[in-house]
A and B are shown apart, each in its own frame.
Chain A
Amino acid sequence: MENTAGLFFYLVPLIVFAPLAGMLINMFLGPKLGEKGVGLVASLASGTAFLTAVLQAISLGQHPEGAVVRLADWIHIGQLAVDWAFRVDTLSVTMMLVVSGVGTLIHIYAIGYMHEDVRFKNDLPRYPRFFVFLNFFIIAMLTLVSGNSYMMLFVGWEGVGLASFLLIGFWYDMDTLGRPSLANANAAKKAFITNRVGDFGFLMAAFMMFWKFGSTDFDLVFAKVAEVAAHEPWVILWITIFFLVGVAGKSAQIPLYIWLPDAMAGPTPVSALIHAATMVTAGVYLITRSYPIYSLSHDAQYIVATVGAVTGLFAATIAVGQYDLKKVLAYSTISQLGFMVAGVGMGAYVAGMFHLMTHAFFKALLFLSAGSVILGMERGHHHLPHGDHHEVFDPGDMRNMGGLRKTMPVTFWLYIIGTLALMGLPPFAGFFSKDEILLDASLHFPHVYWILTAAAFLTAFYMGRQIWMVFFGEARHAAAAHAEESPLVMTAPLMVLAALSIFGGFLNFPGLHQFGGWLAHTLGEVETPEFSLVVAGVSTLLALAAIGLSWWLYGRNPLQVGQIDPLKKPLGLLFTGMENKWFVDEGYQLVVIQPYKALAKFLAQTVDWDFWHEWFHDSVIAKGFVGFTRFLADPIDLGLIDRVSYWLSDLVSASSAALGKLQNGFVRSYALSIVVGVVAILGYLLLNAK
């Protein structure tokens, strides 16, 4: 019995290779398969990965200690040995299930969504490419969560970054409204470059790890971590700080969160899958995976928890002032990621992972429902008389919506479920997971608790505002009045997600802590704080109060066409700040980008061109060379070498002229010289004879 169950461990490479097969098939045969074929292949590939993950979970039920499945050697240089190995334990399998499960649902949804999207944008051949990218994302994300070392994790980490870039810029030649523009391409670039900054942090941490631990394998690093912490605590602190930089990039925390709202330029399934449910949670996974390191440094925990909490509140305030349906959800995602990071930062790994999972369910549901709303608006816009088509129409602007509960009832109810889960009302999934984080914060980090509670209040408020603006009142645009419900291929996956959003919270029911027990096999002893009625009651009452407030502002008197936001008057400048994202992008423009561009211009124009080319090359090198050659030519060549040779030739001709006189042709003088010579020699011999 236990033998057969354990066998499934060896199927684990399928979680990567099944999507790989799907990607390759669609890459080469995509245009021939047709839309249905492409969607089917991609969904089956992702589904196979999900099935494999389920089998892993079944095996883990029998062998909770997990397994490491080594597939191939990768890098073996000196001490460094990195293998391509899959790590199967309760933590990684949880991530696998979430990624492949939500991923598969979103693949199915995308079949319907992209069918219409490519038609609205008049580019049918781009359909298969979307699924190639989507499968590629699944490959990278599953590599990330299944790797057995920080290096393998980094491969996936970069892979999802690339997938994110490709998918944000999927409609790279237009903006979100379909007009020719570089806006989407720039959004993709922004995401990629911001993530590069985070990756720098990750790499620094990995290098330090190799330097101090001699390995990047999880087991080997964790085995030595206590020893290193005892001798060199600063190493632990710096590794955790550098990892936090990576987390801030990938999981959109302050100060690197700015890319995520722009990433909404990608098609909605991408926003749901990558920029809400899975990829952005990679940072949370990273911290959870590194729990032996983080647990050893209270400073690191304090910093991470504070960064998460501040991000949670900050992003929530921005979400209040947004008018774009997806932008609100984007800032909500940043805010919820702040909750998770704060949770795992405090050492509440189970709560953080739990919130990651429930958030994946309800935020994917919300995003996909938002996609359904936007497509419904597009359809409504399409039915209008042709004269109206030339105006610029933004189907994602909430000020154009209103009254959609009547035209899109299925989407409405799904959206309501997702919203209630996000608000954290019992018995929806978000209530349980958010409550656990708040509970832990109230016990260990009171300041984090207060910040997060405020963020939770704002969460309920901005979601209430959204619901009233989108689904209630009267249609503020003709397109909203003619909006149409989405097909079953899109709503069916949403229903599954809705069910998970309702019941997902029971996975870690207070008192039972099934999920905590499951993760405890990997994370060791986990703390299970007692359920606190005070914390849960306060957050529930605050959420209800926020809903009431939002009704009072937006539900009682529905927004009219052209009316300014009712919050604008009482809050004044504060609301202007929220509306404009606290001018953070402008601040980055001023503080980072413009100085950077000025620096680049200075380096290019002044240093490279003026100094190096103009001055150094022309003045120093060229003139120096000319001077040196002149020195060689004039004093050395003409002055010395030539003069020596002239002198030699003069010497020869002078001496030859002198000697030539001896040969006068008179025989008697020759004879005389012989006589003189003989007399001289004989005289010498005679004088020296004695």
Chain B
Amino acid sequence: MIPVSYYLALSAILFTTGMFGVLIRRNALVVFMSIELMLNAANLSLVAFSRLYQTFHGQIFVFFIMAVAAAEVAVGLALIVTIFRSKQSIDLDQMNSLKG
């Protein structure tokens, strides 16, 4: 059986990849995908611990996260589409009209 540390390492790599994607990329769609990547990294570690402790709590939690992520994707994509229509761009650095 593969030790849980492997899963956790993979999860950390995925999370870090997503995090840098969010921080570095300016394309809203790519940032969006990076967020999904971070969510799934968290899901992966939840499932890994669930298996380690032989309980279902973590897996049930993952289902909730996937449901919420699906809803989030629906709203997020809709927002991106709307922004694109008004600005003809999905560059995040141009979306700064809320600054103080």
**Chain A residues within 8 Å of B, Cβ to Cβ:** 660, 663-668, 671-672, 675
Contacts and interface: CB of A to CB of B under 8 A. Distances in A.
Interface stretch (B39-47, B48-56, B60-68, B90-98): B90-98
B67 to A, nearest CB: 24
B87 interface: no
Interface residues of B, number: 13
14 contacts: A660-B100, A663-B99, A664-B99, A664-B100, A665-B95, A665-B98, A665-B100, A666-B99, A667-B92, A667-B95, A668-B23, A668-B26, A671-B22, A671-B23
A675 B23 contact: yes
Interface of B: 19, 22-23, 26, 31, 92-93, 95-100
The 4 closest A-B pairs by CB, nearest first: A665-B99, A665-B96, A663-B100, A660-B100
A675 B19 contact: yes
Contacts of A664: 96, 99-100
Given A660-B100, A664-B96, A666-B92, 20 more contacts: A663-B99, A663-B100, A664-B99, A664-B100, A665-B96, A665-B97, A665-B100, A666-B93, A666-B96, A666-B99, A667-B95, A668-B22, A668-B23, A668-B26, A668-B31, A668-B92, A668-B93, A671-B22, A671-B23, A675-B23
Contacts of B26: 668
Contacts of A668: 22-23, 26, 31, 92-93
A672 B92 contact: no
B91 to A, nearest CB: 11
A668 B98 CA distance: 13
A671 B25 CA distance: 12
B16 to A, nearest CB: 10
Nearest to A668: B23
A667 B96 CA distance: 8
| Most chain A CB inside 10 Å of its own CB: which residue of B23, B26, B100 | B100
Contacts of A675: 19, 23
A291 B43 CA distance: 127
A563 B84 CA distance: 146
Nearest to A664: B99
B29 to A, nearest CB: 14
A284 B16 CA distance: 128
A668 B23 CA distance: 5
A660 B98 CA distance: 12
Contacts of A663: 99-100
A664 B98 CA distance: 8
A672 B22 CA distance: 9
Contact of B23 (A660, A665, A672): A672
Contacts of B95: 665, 667
Contacts of B19: 675
A660 B100 CA distance: 6
A41 to B, nearest CB: 108
A665 B19 CA distance: 19
A250 to B, nearest CB: 101
A287 B97 CA distance: 115
A675 B20 CA distance: 10
Nearest to A662: B100
A341 B100 CA distance: 111
A675 B31 CA distance: 15
Contacts of A672: 23
Nearest to B96: A665
A663 B100 CA distance: 5
Nearest to B35: A671
Nearest to B28: A667
A306 to B, nearest CB: 110
B59 to A, nearest CB: 25
Contacts of B92: 666-668
Nearest to B19: A675
Contacts of B99: 663-666
Nearest to A679: B19
A680 to B, nearest CB: 15
Contacts of B23: 668, 671-672, 675
Nearest to B22: A671
Contacts of A666: 92-93, 96, 99
Contacts of A665: 95-100
Contacts of B96: 664-666
A628 to B, nearest CB: 48
A501 B66 CA distance: 146
A80 to B, nearest CB: 88
A667 B22 CA distance: 9
A666 B92 CA distance: 7
Nearest to A667: B92
Nearest to A656: B100
B94 to A, nearest CB: 10
A675 B22 CA distance: 11
Nearest to A661: B100
B92 to A, nearest CB: 6
B20 to A, nearest CB: 9
A180 B22 CA distance: 121
A660 B26 CA distance: 23
Contacts of B22: 668, 671
A660, A665, A675: which has the most chain B beta carbons within 10 Å?
A665
B81 to A, nearest CB: 17
